Structure 1
């Protein structure tokens, strides 16, 4: 009995199972990363939907702060633009601009004690804080998925063939200006 054919068939079967398993694992990770990015975009959209209400509430008290309102509106639009929603690197840049604009808006709000007591403003601020927490959680989930996917793509022997199957490393959703978030903004209400 010739065992050569049995060994060849066994080796081909092992290689086939390995390729099948690797491909399905990468597809799973890729879908997980896409899902996580979708979660981020949902939260960014939710936050963007809160901003016009927040601006209108503050406008009622601080009508002469037009530039601040325009900057917040512009930053809001940038965070939900299609180009930003499709690219984590662009989203990170837009997020930095958004956070800077929001700091300005809250600085204006600090100057108006009656605004600080406005229930609508306090409610919007709480919703915005809640949404920011959800964005951070979605970012952690996304970055974890990207880490797993990128690691699997870079590991040997997958690195030899996965790119030819259409898999590529994904970008992390990171803060561009890390110094800007070292100290949280102080908002006193």
Structure 2
């Protein structure tokens, strides 16, 4: 009888261990899926930005430094994404988003540019992509939070350590990203 109880206990522990392991795999894959969704949107926006810059370049007086900062930030975002460096990506995203905000704010001083159908379509497309990225960032950070919590909870932490499950970084944007926009500075007043 004691052998059956012992064997039953081992089976229950084995089933519990398998269940914990499967839960860790599920949350790890949820993080990967959430990142893949962000990556798709970043690539779409990456493809749209050169078009926006080219349309703006048609207006000779348009601020070249603003365009250059957007092009440089775009490269930094791409490089960080290719490396999988979430922290560097968050910082580069902050710079890029600030640059896009400056382009759209400065465009207000160019009635011909605002009347340009291509510019308006690109502005709407990029704004929609920005909103989608923000939504997906929230989803990604939720998945990361669940993952990180699961690998820290006992007894899952024992399995996580043994099978190499690791904490993932949150996608956070730079301080400049979350600061209020200085409208006077944007319009040079």
TM-score calculated relative to the size of structure 2? 0.89
The equivalences for 1:1-20 within 5 A come to: 3-20=1-18
Which has the larger helix fraction?
A: 2
Shift of the 97–84 alpha-carbon distance from structure 1 to 2, 3 Å rule, reads farther
Which shows bigger deviation, 143-152 or 157-166? 157-166
The equivalences for 1:127-138 within 5 A come to: 127-138=125-136
Aligned to 1:34: 32
The answer on whether the counterparts of 2:39 and 2:81 sit within 8 Å (CA) in structure 1 is: no
Aligned to 2:177: 180
Q: 1:116 aligns with which of 114, 117, 125?
A: 114
Instruction: Provide Cα deviations, 1:64-84, integer angstroms capped at 9, x if missing partner.
Output: 632222211111111111555
Structure 1: give runs of 5+ residues left out of the alignment: none
Shift of the 184–64 alpha-carbon distance from structure 1 to 2, 3 Å rule, reads closer
- Counterparts of 1:129 and 1:55, CA distance in 2: 15
1:103 equivalenced with 2:101 (yes/no): yes
Q: 2:90 aligns with which of 92, 111, 130?
A: 92
Aligned to 1:166: 164
Which shows bigger deviation, 103-112 or 48-57? 103-112
Which shows bigger deviation, 153-162 or 102-111? 102-111
Aligned to 1:152: 150
- Counterparts of 1:113 and 1:30, CA distance in 2: 49
RMSD value, Cα: 2.1
Instruction: Provide Cα deviations, 1:84-128, integer angstroms capped at 9, x if missing partner.
Output: 551221110111111222233223312211111111111100000
- Counterparts of 1:64 and 1:134, CA distance in 2: 28
TM-score calculated relative to the size of structure 1? 0.89
Aligned to 1:76: 74
The answer on whether the counterparts of 1:84 and 1:94 sit within 8 Å (CA) in structure 2 is: no
Shift of the 60–45 alpha-carbon distance from structure 1 to 2, 3 Å rule, reads same
The answer on whether the counterparts of 2:45 and 2:126 sit within 8 Å (CA) in structure 1 is: yes
The answer on whether the counterparts of 1:88 and 1:173 sit within 8 Å (CA) in structure 2 is: yes
Which shows bigger deviation, 84-93 or 10-19? 84-93
